[in-house]
Amino acid sequence: MKAVAYRQSLPIDDPHSLLDATLPEPPAPTGRDLRVRVQAVSVNPVDTKIRRNVDPAGADKVLGWDAAGTVEAVGPEATLFRPGDAVFYAGAIDRAGSNAELQLVDERIVGRKPASLDFAQAAALPLTAITAWELLFDRLGVARGDQHKTLLVVGAAGGVGSMAVQIARKLTGLTVIGTASRPETQAWVRQLGAHHVVDHRAGLLEPVRAVAPDGVDYVMSLTHTEQHYEALVELLNPQGRLGLIDDPATPIDIRAMKRKSISLHWEFMYTRSLFHTHDMLAQHRILDELADLIDAGALRGTMREHYGTINAANLRRAHAQLESGSTIGKIVLEGF
């Protein structure tokens, strides 16, 4: 089968950083696995982080943790899908990725593709939507319909932020403040439904206080947590909750949160699949509910750029764009 592989950590402008390859097809699915013919993928920061940190160099490995495609075969214990079903999913970080024509994936982390989206549009959603959903409801503990509280989303124009703003607006009564630094990203966050959009380039404290003088109750810190940490602790109300998904470049001193009894919550959407948690099926349910919300017009897709065919050259271009730190929404590729 056709695939895009990597063998060692190289800068993305090196033509050997990602390579077109022909690899063996995955075997017939066992257990609850599905074998999916991949029709579209999207690219996430996790792809670039893993590509930059493989050591030592070795055999071909396949990146890619967002896909939409068609089920070709199901394992003997699979009950949720049948051959021919159109699906979307983010996969598992400890298994081969989606940048290949065929992929094995556990049905418990797969959802039905939204009928109103094509495969490319659907591929933009799973990882970021699950991350936003889990961070909001499972980690921060926000209740649906929550009223009279405020959520701050730092980095609201990116993939996770784009979904977090929408989900919070549609499924809760929270006042949503998003941060974005450029006119085009600020406009995007407003289109997604944020009540307020502030520029975080000169610091968060004063811009957020201008729109939320009483402070904020929840924070989703999606990028550069170490830069904003002191301001976030200052802005959070007593007993507030701070959630993050990034890897702070420098340590943060959690003792600063003690006086206000602020709680810290990590979100890593691969935890359920990596540890085969008892509630692993939750991601299937999240994706199916997201598909229902999209088909009902309550949520919109976040695809912004279509980079063409799934091949090494186009994926190198997508990785380079993500590494620039200026991406709005999601980049997708389609077909081999």
Please report the pLDDT score of residue 325 as a whole number: 83
CA 202 distance to own-chain centroid: 26
Please report the pLDDT score of residue 264 as a whole number: 98
pLDDT at 329 over 90: no
The residue with greater pLDDT, 59 or 26, is 26
pLDDT in tens, 83-141: 999 999 999 999 999 999 999 999 999 999 999 999 999 999 999 999 999 999 999 99
Please report the pLDDT score of residue 159 as a whole number: 92
Please report the pLDDT score of residue 295 as a whole number: 98
| DSSP per-residue letters across 13-67 | TSTTSSEEEE-PPP----TTEEEEEEEEEE--HHHHHHHHT--S--S-EE----E
Please report the pLDDT score of residue 257 as a whole number: 97
Integer Cα distance of 86 and 98 in angstroms: 15
Question: Angle 159-171/126-133 helices, nearest 10 degrees?
Answer: 50
pTM for this structure?
A: 0.95
The helix or strand, by DSSP H or E, that contains position 229, with its residue range, turns out to be helix 225-235
The residue with greater pLDDT, 191 or 325, is 191
Query: Hey, what's the torsion of the CAs at 171, 153, 126, 13, to 10 degrees?
Result: 160
% the chain with pLDDT above 90? 90
| DSSP per-residue letters across 264-309 | EEE--TTHHHHHT-TTTTHHHHHHHHHHHHHHTTSS---EEEE--S
- pLDDT band for 55, please (50, 70, 90 cuts): low
Could you identify the residue written with the tokens 């056709």? 2
Please report the pLDDT score of residue 88 as a whole number: 98
pLDDT in tens, 262-297: 999 999 999 999 999 999 999 999 999 999 999 999
Please report the pLDDT score of residue 57 as a whole number: 66
pLDDT at 8 over 80: yes
pLDDT in tens, 150-184: 999 999 999 999 999 999 999 999 999 999 989 99
Please report the pLDDT score of residue 56 as a whole number: 61
Peptide bond before residue 56 is cis, with ω within 30 degrees of 0: yes
Please report the pLDDT score of residue 145 as a whole number: 80
- pLDDT band for 147, please (50, 70, 90 cuts): confident
Mean pLDDT, the chain, whole residue set: 95
Residues 8-14, mean pLDDT to the nearest whole number: 90
